[in-house]
Amino acid sequence: MNGILGYATYLPYYRLQRSAISAALGGPPGKGTRAVASYDEDSTSMAVGAGRRVLASLPGDLAAVYFATSTPAYLDKTNATAVHAALGLPPPVGAFDMGGAVRSAVGALGAGLASTRTSLVLAADIRTGLPGGEDERDGGDGASALVVGPGSAEHPVIAEHIGGGSATGEFLERWRVPGEAFSRRWEDRFGVHALLPHVGRAVTAALVGAGVMPDAIDHLIITGTHPRAVAAFARMSHARPEVLVDGLASSVGNTGAAHPGLLLASALDRAEPGAVIALVVLADGADVLVFRATDTLPGRRQSPTVAEQVAAGRDDLAYPTFLTWRGMLARQGPRRPAPTQPAAPPSLRSEAWKFGFVGSRCRDCGTRHLPPQRVCLKCGAVDHMDAERLADVPGTIATFTVDRLAYSPSPPTVLAVVDFDGGGRYRCELTDVDPTAIAIGDRVEMTFRRLYEADGVHNYFWKARPLADSAPAPSAGQGQGA
Amino acid sequence: MASKGIRDRVAIVGMGCTRFDEHWDKSTDDLLVDATEETLTSAGVAKEDVDAYWLGTMASGMSGMVLAKPLKLGTKPVSRLENLCATASEAFRNACYAVAAGAYDLVMAIGVEKLKDSGYSGLVLADAPGDGTIGELSAPALFSLLAPAYGNKYGVDQAKLKEVFTRIAWKNHHNGALNPRAQYRKEVPKEVIANSPIVAGALGIFDCSGVSDGAAAALIVRAEDAPRYTDKPLYVKALSFIAGAGRGAIDPDYDYTTFPEVVLSAEGAYEQAGITDPRAELAMAEVHDCFTPTELILMEDLRFAARGTAWQEVLAGTFDLDGALPVNPDGGLKSFGHPVGASGLRMLFECWLQLRGEAPPERQIKTEKTLGLTHNLGGVPGECVSFVSIVGSRPSA
């Protein structure tokens, strides 16, 4: 039976205290935090973050990558191809966007589960709205990755897909005109009226198909585009509190297309073998997927868990910085030229380097080169190189500086010379870092980022960030790791 | 192998240098005319007497016509050269070789740069279309990488290093204040330097060289012809140049406390000139103090101080105008200013004044020594070009 072979999530480093919004703009004091993608992240780069984690323990023998987002970096051009390149996947693996709507994500997951081949289903979103609004406050940024398919002896199904149901309707509940930075919504109570009948139909169909009674559900995930309707269905379900999976509203916020995968991951972090997990997504109708955890799940949970990722963030982001990053506040930068757009032919020539962080290693003397070189730095051998991907190799800071003059979408630029474990050096930007707390000898890992946008071109490349191990440990009681 | 050298085969017989400044009222053409007129006059020759020209400019124009048009040359070869911040030195080197080869009798090397028209802070380079993986980093940031690495290697805390950098800037401003051609002509108190706004890493605005416009030029002839033009020629003892392979940027063995390209080019120059103890034998040195940590590192790379000790020598005043080895007596890039394509020849201009005893009395170095060194660097730590010349007021025995 088809099912989930692996899962992972990516939450950005920063959290915005909701009280920071009310402190700046007035209104009732906000509670909790929301996750915030950094200035150098977008839906594509966060999808890479989640994809790297899930593929670290699974093979790359995928048939296709499906990438769902309501905030695509490009239209016309496929965004999943950049993810594909950053994950180092071979050309025969397809890469497709499931674009535009929040609902695309659960649709992509359902399609992947229905396929006879193995698929990587990615979802990522940056959710915000106009300053002071509900979407800004209650939205969140993040990504989820699920590998789904028939499984194998080596990579067994960790959660069987035992049933599903959908109900589709056409109504104006939440929408956004292409090019606009925020969503529009109809009156709140109308959404409950329009959505709830669909939820009932889809849930009934799914449970009948799966052959399970409602009270057999061990983990019930209810999420969607409409908080009031989600809450209403949670009440109607009469599910016991321990069965309802926390929607992470108080810590992460609603991550749009990424949220179904994020909450499914949260459930998989904890589900025992045999447990039934139901995912209910309210968006332009309702979609329900039902899973049963297998005996192989406990040994294949993601690390860090969702709870650990939630706890690992930094929660003191200033509200003006948040507004600047989301393009809501134009700020004066240094008197320096803006960068020029990356050119297409050199970007194609260096695809493996630029997107995959692939260097070269000398066949004669073993010296590593970043970027890849044809002539060996040490022994001078010409064209005796093997390609070597270094995206997952950690490194150590040899020296560093903080550049307050260079152009950056969010000055200052933090720069480090990184020496990689096993050889190779590269001078690159640091991100997700406190500029006042860097030292020679600090450990770093690579992360795929959008450096800047110039003339309509997103410049994707790699930066280093403090190694997760050296990040603050999760607080007691929040870690759920196997 | 390193260059065999052309020791004492050619000599400088005339020089000129504009003031380096924010020349809002002068164009590149104006600066070229000013520098060539002063240089021709200093040797008592006309532009028609000059057989060939080497023009250095990094970004103020392309081709030899940049010089031929404003000067109305039209019948002479003009080569246009670029080698980052060592551009003027590169023009000088090639001009010297053409004379040594016997191809010409009298040639001019000239460097010019017009930086202040860009409208940006600091230096801005136009890059070829690329894949976007080369970071948008500033020059001060890349040179500031030296500070933590040096402090870490030699156990000097960053506060002490900041004091060293401040002392270097203070010294060069002190010298520049005595120089009517310098961009910045006033002393700056150490407290002002130390507390100036941070640009990158430990470097404040006063740790950075002046961005300016300017031009400088030299006339070169065979040594035996020099007396026809001046009774005080400067003999070229050594010309040494290295274009780095950018190893440091990708090689973990490079530790950011030295410029290997400088060490190599300096040793080549000392060999050509027959110098064994540069600190004792040189009357003065003009070095590439683009940022204060650069001058610190250069003192060790040029063997003016032992490894790990230059910071103490700086604090002790060894490289002051009245120190054991005056460094940047004209104020250096820091105070004289750094119009990129002109700086290498500006360094030679100070040797021209000092070694001929023609510097203004308040900064004339009192010494019996006859040799001066210029060091001119382009690029950044780990990937740079480096030029070292030795000139002297007497032919070798």
Are B135 and A413 a contacting pair at CB < 8 A? yes
Chain A partners within 8 Å of B199 (Cβ): 404-405
Q: Which residues contact B93 (CB under 8 A, 6 or more apart)?
A: B239, B241, B387, B389
| Partner residue facing B131 (CB), from A347, A403, A440 | A347
Chain A residue whose CA is closest to B200: A403
- Taking every pair of Cα atoms in chain B, the longest distance, rounded to a whole number of angstroms, is 60
| Partner residue facing A417 (CB), from B119, B130, B145 | B145
- The pLDDT > 70 percentage for chain B reads 99
Residues A235 and A369 in one domain: no
Under a CB-based contact definition with an 8 Å cutoff, are residues B64 and B78 in contact?
yes
Q: What phi, psi does A318 have (nearest 5°)? A: -75, 140
Q: Which amino acid is at A115?
A: S
Residue B136 has pLDDT above 80, yes or no: no
Residues B75 and B164 in one domain: no
Q: How many domains does chain B have?
A: 2
Residues A108 and A135 in one domain: yes
End residue of a domain, out of A325, A354, A374: A325
Q: Is the peptide bond before B77 cis (omega within 30 degrees of 0)?
A: no
Please indicate if any CB of chain B lies within 8 Å of the CB of A352. Answer: no
Please indicate if any CB of chain B lies within 8 Å of the CB of A28. Answer: no
- The pLDDT > 90 percentage for chain A reads 90
Residues A57 and A172 in one domain: yes
Known catalytic residue at B96? no
Report the CATH number at residue A353: 2.40.50.840
Residues B202 and B340 in one domain: yes
Q: Is residue B84 part of a domain?
A: yes
Tokens 């970071």 belong to residue: B135
Residues B59 and B191 in one domain: no
Q: How many CB pairs under 8 A join A and B?
A: 131
Domain span at A260: 3-325
pLDDT of residue A12: 98
To the question of pTM greater than 0.90 for the whole model, the response is yes
Complex ipTM tops 0.85: yes
Chain B partners within 8 Å of A417 (Cβ): 145, 256, 382
Residues B95 and B40 in one domain: yes
Residues A255 and A363 in one domain: no
List, as ranges, residues 255-274 from A with C-beta within 8 Å of B.
Answer: none
* Shortest CA gap B176–chain A (Å): 25
Which whole-number Å values give the CA distances from A162 to A209, A296, A314, in the listed order? 8, 16, 38
Q: Is residue B343 part of a domain?
A: yes
| Partner residue facing B144 (CB), from A337, A354, A401 | A401
pLDDT digits (tens, 9 = 90+) for B233-280: 999 999 999 999 999 999 999 999 999 999 999 999 999 999 999 999
| Partner residue facing A346 (CB), from B131, B245, B254 | B131
HSE-CB for B354 with a 13 A CA cutoff: 33
* Shortest CA gap B196–chain A (Å): 13
Known catalytic residue at B375? no
Q: How many domains does chain A have?
A: 2
Are B121 and A334 a contacting pair at CB < 8 A? yes
pLDDT of residue A482: 30
Q: Is residue B109 part of a domain?
A: yes
Q: What sign does the CA torsion over B151, B252, B383, B284 have?
A: positive
Residues A290 and A356 in one domain: no
pLDDT of residue A474: 34
Residues A249 and A135 in one domain: yes
List, as ranges, residues 388-407 from A with C-beta within 8 Å of B.
Answer: 398-407
pLDDT of residue A60: 62
Please indicate if any CB of chain B lies within 8 Å of the CB of A343. Answer: yes
Which residue out of B173, B288, B338, B375 is catalytically annotated?
Answer: B338
Crossing angle of helices B260-273 and B292-301, rounded to 10°: 50
pLDDT digits (tens, 9 = 90+) for A290-317: 999 999 999 999 999 999 999 998 999 9
Residues B225 and B325 in one domain: no
pLDDT of residue A287: 98
End residue of a domain, out of A325, A360, A391: A325
Are A370 and B250 a contacting pair at CB < 8 A? yes
Q: Is residue B175 part of a domain?
A: yes
